[in-house]
Amino acid sequence: MSNSIETEGLPGRNFRERFPLLALIVERLVLSLVLLFAVSVLIFGGLEALPGDFATTYLGQSATPQAVANIRQELGLNRPITTRYVEWLGNAVRGDFGTSWASKNSVSEQIGNRLGNSLFLAGFAAIISVPLAVGLGMLSVHFRNRLPDKIINVVSLAAISLPEFFIGYLLILFFAVKFGVATFPATVYADMDFADRLKAIALPTATLVLVVLAHMMRMTRAAILSVMSSAYMETAELKGLSAARAIVKHAAPNALAPIINVIALNLAYLVVGVVVVEVVFVYPGMGQYMVDAVTVRDMPVVQACGLIFAAVYILLNMVADILAIVANPRLRHPR
């Protein structure tokens, strides 16, 4: 009797027991929103805490105090920080990131164009790297401790050890400078047709693929090897199932949750980590836009780019968690 009273008195607990899968998904959604709010506070407060301001940078060292004060008043920088944060966050939720202090253009419009370029680059890198990483991981498991496995591991370790900018400059040196078989994204990138755009992003895409491929491949290999040591895999082998078929039919599906998690995390890195690659190749994306804004302390642009990068990263992490939860059979079919 007392147990039933306790259960009725705790509706949240009752909901979690009846719908464990839905409860975990809702929990991830709430945590993601809370985290995004905390990140927005850090972005706004951190930029405000930096020494100097746009007015001084814009007017130069010879600016008079009165001129600096006039610019600060025009931009609203003399208002309390909490007032400006609440106003900025409220507008950002509606998709309005204000006006660029440097160019006087709408930040939202500029980001709309730049974000499309960054997603185009990251998307093609993902299309190439994800199936390649999963395939190489399964191939490495199939030839475990043999020559193909050792070659794949050595190459992946080398790729992980090299930073993005170094890989990018190496590709530029060999494929653009010495052999002349690749081009750079041009300033007229937006006017290119689809084929020219693919040619223009060849080197940046190759750089991103090499950066994320090794990590995804090694984590895929580790996840499948962990499943391979299970009792049901030994039973499958005793039944005469070939190693390749056992990996594809039994090991890979049961290692799906960690593989999905790793892929989603690397996809998040592809979108957020394009900053370095875009700067190296002078690619007209979000990363290049943010770096250009940082140099002139254009805070509305920096805040908007930082918040969007954080939102994309948190969103893809949340998707990774939800997919891992859905892929768990114990949560899909609770007893």
pTM of structure: 0.78
| Distance of alpha carbon 248 from alpha carbon 134, whole angstroms | 11
pLDDT at 154: 87
Q: Report residue 235 as tokens.
A: 């039973």
pLDDT at 237: 67
Mean pLDDT in consecutive groups of 10 residues from the start of the chain, 335 residues: 47 65 83 93 85 68 74 80 90 88 85 85 88 87 85 84 86 81 56 76 88 85 78 68 71 73 80 83 86 84 90 85 70 54
| Distance of alpha carbon 102 from alpha carbon 111, whole angstroms | 15
Non-local CB neighbours of 333 within 8 Å, separated by 6+ positions = none
Domains belonging to the chain, first-starting first, are 107-319 (1.10.3720.10)
DSSP 99: B
